[in-house]
Structure 1
Amino acid sequence: MAVPSGFYRGVSAADRVAQRRARLLAAGLTVWADPRIRTTMTAVCAEAGLSERYFYESFTGLEALLEAVMDTIAAEIEETSRAAAEAAGDNPAARVRAAVRAFVDLLLADPRKGRVAIVESLAVPKLRQRRTELLRHLAHQSAVESRRVLGSPGHSVTEDEIGGMLFIGGMAELITAWLDGTLRASTDEIVEAASRALLGIYR
């Protein structure tokens, strides 16, 4: 049987490109999160087992890859937290706690994600702006969801946005201190404190 044009071992050219991109993203996370390794394109390619030719197939340079790593983590945080909140039912407090726990559990399952997105990104000047944009996006989503679920009685849209920034900014600092060992707290303590903070802002 003839192999369809553009296919190799049953995998299309587009799928092979997507697979290589995924390998580079995974390698980028591994290298960037490891303080023993200098984050370079060469190190990422070695970790992924791919040549620089394939690197440039998906990314214009190292910073583009690192930005994509950040974007992927932010999307996972948002999607995971939203799914957990929806699964928790209609009780507002239960939804908040479920969303916060899902976020914290995600970081416990792979601490590299929190370290890269929140801590290491500050060390790359050209990524600081993207970090700020992602945190503000999450803050806005927090404000929108809180208004929808909690009702934000008597609050203006601006006050809700301020609350979102306070919560996400505080969470970023809290998680940073937790990940670097400055703050010694259990998962339950982190979840409970963050949940109380969010509920307090919007009630």
Structure 2
Amino acid sequence: MAIPTRRYRGVSAEQRHHERRERLLDAGLDLLGTEGWARTTVTAVCARARLTERYFYQSFPSREHLLVAVFDRIAGEAAEVVLAAVAGAPYDARARARAAIAAYVELVTDDPRKGRITLLEALGCEALETRRRQTLHTFAQLVAVQARSFYGPAVASRRDVELTAHFLVGGLAELLIAWLQGGLEISRDQLVDHCAALFVAAAQIPGG
């Protein structure tokens, strides 16, 4: 849908479009993270954002595009906090692993909506599940890059590093799902410590 280009009360059309898009994303985050994907309809999102459907379709071709955009915004935030945590941690394998995992777990538990969207709601919606798989792959690549950078020539082959990274990232996601659903009676710190130990131990596994 075409977007008007004239200024209104000193605000450009691009700025107004950006602000409306952010309001729609905020509404999508709130609905998807509390009501679930099935109830996050275009009508409900527009009502929550206090915008008409005309403005919705100026920003998103469909409901699924909004859902994925909400997911992507959380994933981008997760990548930022994880990388910042690693950069600020001591140059020690366990310290860096713990900092990265703690940053992610904190993100998805301090705002439960983000955990529900990226870990739980993604399992029931095809568009979100597809994006979830793509994002897990991206984070596995990130872990592999960090491992090769930290361990240098001592690390296993590129293939083995990537296999291990996919295993660890996928396992962490499933562990968090079980924990968020109440299936594991452990504290957040215990969960983070255990996962950090697994990440460090995995680096010692010889390649095949």
TM-score for both structures, normalised by structure 1: 0.91
Q: Which amino acid aligns with 2:11?
A: V
Q: Aligned residue for 1:159?
A: 160
Aligned equivalents of 2:190 and 2:153: distance in 1?
Answer: 25
**SS in structure 2 of the partner of residue 8 of structure 1:** coil
Aligned equivalents of 1:61 and 1:175: distance in 2?
Answer: 30
Change (3 A) 1:39 1:163: same
**Counterpart contact for 1:152–1:160, Cα < 8 Å:** no
Q: Which amino acid aligns with 2:156?
A: H
Aligned equivalents of 1:199 and 1:152: distance in 2?
Answer: 17
Deviates more, 1:31-40 or 1:111-120: 31-40
Q: Which amino acid aligns with 1:32?
A: L
Aligned equivalents of 2:202 and 2:172: distance in 1?
Answer: 13
Q: Which amino acid aligns with 1:11?
A: V
TM-score for both structures, normalised by structure 2: 0.89
Q: Aligned residue for 2:145?
A: 144
Q: Which amino acid aligns with 1:202?
A: A
Shift of 1:90: 2.2
Change (3 A) 1:50 1:152: farther
Query: Which consecutive residues of structure 1, in runs of 5 or more, have no partner in the other structure?
Result: none
Shift of 1:152: 6.9
Q: Aligned residue for 1:15?
A: 15
Q: Which amino acid aligns with 1:200?
A: A
Shift of 1:184: 2.1
Change (3 A) 1:48 1:134: same
Matched, 1:49 2:47: no
RMSD: 1.7
**Counterpart contact for 2:147–2:155, Cα < 8 Å:** no
State the identity as a percent: 43
Q: Aligned residue for 2:26?
A: 26
Deviation digits for residues 152-199 of structure 1 (CA, Å, limit 9, x no counterpart): 725110111111111111111111111111122211101101111111
Alignment of 1:1-203 (within 5 A): 6-35=6-35, 38-151=39-152, 153-203=154-204
Aligned equivalents of 1:73 and 1:42: distance in 2?
Answer: 23
Give the number of equivalent residue pairs.
Answer: 199
